[in-house]
Structure 1
Amino acid sequence: MNISPFHVWAIVRFLPDMQRIVVNRFRRRSDAEECLRVLRRAATGRDYTLLYYPPGEESTFMVRKEYNKLVRDRIPEILESQQIKFGIEEMTQADYCQALRQKLIEEAQEAAEAVETNLVTELADLCEVIDATMGAYGIQRNQVLACQMQRRIDRGAFSQRLRLLWTET
């Protein structure tokens, strides 16, 4: 693919292991932004970013991706072993509790969208965040299980596969 030196705006898709691919290039930023909006609407599970990315700089250009989210304890060690530069900080207890709540949403969404072959892994991640959240708030597992059993008695479980279609008030 022959790229004009004037195509300096690029839409980049991030892949696992800090890899990236250039999806498309544009002469004008406005064209790239419009395409990016369409891509983000069409492929919500993919991570696209708009960059000023002159041709020929693919091998030297470093992309800094912002996360600002809770990560597992060994992530810094893993990043160092891969010689990836990173920034990290320890959160206050209040920030940690809020980050755990955000992580619950993130992991639940990933479990909900997982294909069957990845479901066990995503559920394991969700359980890890639930355990950490219970620890942060001083909640014992037996408290949660007792509450679960009471709610099961009061409201039932999900074993009958019922879908509520409508109600009248």
Structure 2
Amino acid sequence: MPIYNKLVRDQIIEIIDNTGKKSNSMILSSEDHLDFIKEKLFEEVEEYKATTNKVDAIEELADILELIHAALQCENSNFEELDQVRIIKKEKKGGFNKGIFLIDVVD
């Protein structure tokens, strides 16, 4: 019997039940939910890092985006607020589009 002990998508338990298998799960507290979202983000970023093609990359980025939406809800925020902060930071410091790699800064 595999033991997962991890945050899963909202319909996974129903999907497991529909296969005739049984599972054990629980609903996390708000604090634990956010902690496990943060943990799951690391997992998904590692999976994205390991991708070797566009289809898999987009799939993993979609998982990361879904976790960002869930984290925003836990933070009592929304994607619009997040995007406003992103835009302000981009205006002040730029984005990551040019591929600039800082090696060092000489005093």
| Higher RCO (CA-CA < 8 Å; seq separation 6+) | 2
More strand by share: 1
Q: How many residues align?
A: 106
Q: Which moved further from structure 2: 148-157 or 83-92?
A: 83-92
- Looking at structure 2, the residues matched to 70 and 139 of structure 1 have their Cα atoms a distance apart, in angstroms, of 20
Q: TM-score, normalised by structure 1?
A: 0.59
Query: What does residue 146 of structure 1 align with?
Result: 84
Structure 2 residues without counterparts, runs of 5 or longer: none
Question: Per-residue deviation at 1:168?
Answer: 3.3
Question: Per-residue deviation at 1:89?
Answer: 0.9
Structure 1 residues without counterparts, runs of 5 or longer: 1-63
1:8-41 superposed Cα distances (whole Å, 9 cap, x missing partner):
xxxxxxxxxxxxxxxxxxxxxxxxxxxxxxxxxx
Query: What does residue 110 of structure 1 align with?
Result: 47
Question: Per-residue deviation at 1:84?
Answer: 2.3
Residue identity (%)? 25
Query: What does residue 71 of structure 1 align with?
Result: 8
1:89 to 5, 10, 26: 26
- Looking at structure 2, the residues matched to 87 and 96 of structure 1 have their Cα atoms a distance apart, in angstroms, of 17
CA RMSD across the alignment: 1.4
Letter in 1 for 2:22: K
Q: Does 1:132 align with 2:82?
A: no
1:51-110 superposed Cα distances (whole Å, 9 cap, x missing partner):
xxxxxxxxxxxxx22211110111111111222232111111111111111111111221
- Looking at structure 1, the residues matched to 20 and 80 of structure 2 have their Cα atoms a distance apart, in angstroms, of 42
Q: Does 1:164 align with 2:83?
A: no
